[in-house]
Amino acid sequence: MSRFRYCIAAQRRLGFSATIQTVELDMTAAEPKQHLEPSSEAALLTRYRAVREHTEALAAPLGPEDQAIQSMPDASPTKWHRAHTSWFLEEFVLSAHLPGYRRFHPDFGYLFNSYYNQVGTMHPRPQRGLLSRPAMDEIAAYRAHVDAHMEKLLGAALHDDVQALILLGTHHEQQHQELLLTDIKHLLSHNPLQPAYLEARLHGSGPAQPLQFLPGEVGVVTIGHQGDGFHFDNEGPAHQVLLHPHALANRPVNNAEYRSFIEDGGYRRPELWLSDGWSTVQQQGWRRPLYWQEDLHSTFTLYGLQALDPQAPVCHLSYYEADAYAHWADARLPTEAEWETFARRNDGEAPNAGKPWYHPCAPRGTGLTLPGPVWEWTSSAYNAYPGFRTPAGAVGEYNGKFMCSQYVLRGGSCATPPAHIRHSYRNFFYPDARWQFTGLRLARDL
């Protein structure tokens, strides 16, 4: 068996699979570009370096004060993201697979473990913003320490299971790159000066793209990850589902359409809402999407306060808001099986493709817009696929234990690393979560 094929088999035993990808940084676009390469330590090292460098590039516009604060329990400080992604590599790769490795600091496991209970106790998540120490320079030294030892490890021949763990570590860090952006946006939005993460002016779009409903597949279909490309364990196994006649919209709901929902009393009409959703609207005082201003014509972005583009996809919606809008529009949210089969058959153009904006762009042309540029809520609860088994050990806590009380989102967003935008990717959040770039695509029964 070739080294490459054996590597894939080993990765499957760990619960995920991948073809090694290298990443080239284009700082003008501030996005890593993905290229498929043969599996090897050299290719993995190239990818590792690019991902780690991109995290630092994302943090570069932020000062020490920006990186230390936590705006809510669901969000984490930037410096915590930078340290946690290093801890993940230290805990699961270096400590287990580099002989003689010495941890950078004996207490960092407690400070920067996120939720891996099998590893040990951890600092309370809501109190991450109270960690004024370690300071920024020590976090930088921690990352440099981990990188130096990872370079040493990657300079030797590696067992395929170790390559698989390192690859998982890079994808884990890319997930935190998206969180870094959404978390800092939430933090900066609480500053009365409404400062920008990046300086730029977003430009509006032209005429609206007509909303059309396109028929989906009917009958028994296969969903779930197929092939040898990287995937997280919760994307498999591939399995069959039965689809009834239905149709999905050619694009996500836009700001102008959602504004009509608000102006029609959408947040004041309990008949549109799920019971828990209506209770949340009353308790939280929701009257519009997160970051929209009271005038309904401007919104806070990573570029500061900007005019609301009426044709851009509405974002920062909870599941409750997405479901209420769908009821108002005489439609519904798609199931994840409907979304995946629709996406596989109808690849379209992502509006943010080739653009550096960390904000959803309006669709171009009149064709299909898929995926994104917002995560799209589905009506599917986040559960295990038939035949799913949680991988053994602490790394098995990555996804499986969260399969309760959350909903699946599909696609990707303007903040998602390109390598993570694939048809089988299953994102998941609690139904009241709004700080991610989350929107909706309508579906209807036929």
Under the banding of pLDDT at 50, 70 and 90, the label for residue 61 is very high
Mean pLDDT of 254-263: 98
Mean pLDDT of 119-137: 96
What's the mean pLDDT when you consider all of the chain?
A: 88
- pLDDT at 259 (0 to 100): 98
**To which residue do tokens 């930078």 refer?**
82
The C-alpha atoms of residue 241 and residue 235 are separated, in whole angstroms, by 15
Mean pLDDT of 81-101: 97
| Residues near 419 by beta carbon (within 8 Å), at least 6 away in sequence | 21, 23, 32, 34, 171, 174, 230
Is the pLDDT score of 149 beyond 90?
A: yes
- pLDDT at 346 (0 to 100): 81
Under the banding of pLDDT at 50, 70 and 90, the label for residue 23 is very low
Q: What is the DSSP string of 55-67?
A: HHHHHTT--HHHH
Under the banding of pLDDT at 50, 70 and 90, the label for residue 26 is very low
367 vs 213 pLDDT, higher one: 213
- pLDDT at 39 (0 to 100): 57
- pLDDT at 57 (0 to 100): 97
CA neighbor of 94 nearest in space, from 82, 104, 81: 104
Residue 378 CA from chain centroid, whole number: 15
Mean pLDDT of 112-133: 94
Under the banding of pLDDT at 50, 70 and 90, the label for residue 418 is confident
Whether residue 281 contacts residue 273, with contact meaning beta carbons closer than 8 Å, is answered with: yes
Query: Which domains are present in the chain?
Result: 3-189 (1.20.120), 213-445 (3.90.1580.10)
The C-alpha atoms of residue 86 and residue 143 are separated, in whole angstroms, by 6
CA neighbor of 219 nearest in space, from 200, 255, 245, 248: 245
Cα pseudo-dihedral 36, 42, 46, 51, rounded to 10? 90
Is the pLDDT score of 81 beyond 80?
A: yes
Mean pLDDT of 53-58: 98
- Positive or negative CA dihedral for 120, 123, 128, 131? negative
Length of the chain: 446
- Would you tell me how many other CB atoms lie within 10 Å of the CB of residue 56? 11
Under the banding of pLDDT at 50, 70 and 90, the label for residue 275 is very high
DSSP 394: G
Enter the tokens of residue 422.
């694939």
The C-alpha atoms of residue 412 and residue 437 are separated, in whole angstroms, by 9
345 vs 327 pLDDT, higher one: 327
CA neighbor of 278 nearest in space, from 442, 443, 433, 432: 432
Mean pLDDT of 162-191: 96
Q: Which helix (H) or strand (E) holds 242?
A: strand 239-243
Under the banding of pLDDT at 50, 70 and 90, the label for residue 414 is very high
- pLDDT at 156 (0 to 100): 87
Mean pLDDT of 319-335: 98
Strands 375-381 and 407-410: antiparallel
Q: What is the per-residue burial (b if ≥16 Cβ within 10 Å, else e) of 216-225? A: beeeebebbb
Coil vs helix vs strand at 149 = helix
Cα pseudo-dihedral 141, 143, 145, 147, rounded to 10? -150
Under the banding of pLDDT at 50, 70 and 90, the label for residue 305 is very high
pTM of this prediction?
0.90
Whether residue 109 contacts residue 92, with contact meaning beta carbons closer than 8 Å, is answered with: no
Is the pLDDT score of 32 beyond 50?
A: no
Mean pLDDT of 105-130: 94
Mean pLDDT of 298-321: 97
Mean pLDDT of 284-288: 98
Mean pLDDT of 86-108: 96
- pLDDT at 348 (0 to 100): 66
Q: Which helix (H) or strand (E) holds 306?
A: strand 304-307
Mean pLDDT of 5-9: 30
Is the pLDDT score of 50 beyond 50?
A: yes
Whether residue 420 contacts residue 173, with contact meaning beta carbons closer than 8 Å, is answered with: no
The C-alpha atoms of residue 408 and residue 85 are separated, in whole angstroms, by 24
Q: What digits encode the pLDDT tens for the residues 220-230?
A: 999 999 888 88
CA neighbor of 48 nearest in space, from 142, 140, 136, 165: 165
Enter the tokens of residue 408.
């699946």
Q: Which helix (H) or strand (E) holds 443?
A: strand 443-445
- pLDDT at 398 (0 to 100): 75
| Residues near 394 by beta carbon (within 8 Å), at least 6 away in sequence | 91, 92, 116, 117, 118, 119
- pLDDT at 9 (0 to 100): 32
Under the banding of pLDDT at 50, 70 and 90, the label for residue 38 is very low
- pLDDT at 397 (0 to 100): 65
